[in-house]
Amino acid sequence: MGATFSSRRYEGALSREAIEARWKEDVAGSLFESGHSYSGDIGMLGAKIAKWVDKDFDSLFKAEDWLVANHEKYEPAIAVSYIESTTKAKMWVIGGWCSS
């Protein structure tokens, strides 16, 4: 069995509670669409966000690169902050390595 990296992006202007609620909805949608077993999508991470990493990376690429290097398969999701390059808005990328 392998693993696939998968993530979703959310606006930082939302509260953490609102982001967590949207994440839970996205996880439920993933489970409905892709199944509950080794889909390689965010449903495999579960609805819990294990850690919030507020580093404000200067790009989505750098935030995801950190997430790829620091998340382990079978762990709950991690949220990492970054600054969107064109709008300068704070954003969050949430995800990790998903069983596939």
Sketch the domain layout of the chain as residue ranges.
3-99
DSSP 42: G
Neighbours of 84 (CB within 10 A): 15
Specify the long-range contacts of residues 60-68, CB closer than 8 Å, at least 24 apart. Answer: 60/9, 60/84, 60/91, 60/93, 63/93, 64/5, 64/7, 64/93, 64/95, 67/5, 67/7, 67/93, 67/95, 67/96, 68/5, 68/97
Q: What is the DSSP letter of 45?
A: G
pLDDT single digits (tens) 47-95: 999 999 999 999 999 999 999 999 999 999 999 999 999 999 999 999 9
Identify the bridge partners of residue 49 per DSSP, sorted by sequence position.
77
Work out whether the CA dihedral 59, 46, 41, 24 comes out positive or negative.
negative
Q: Identify which has the larger pLDDT, 34 or 44.
A: 44
Q: Give the pLDDT band of residue 38 (cuts 50, 70, 90).
A: confident
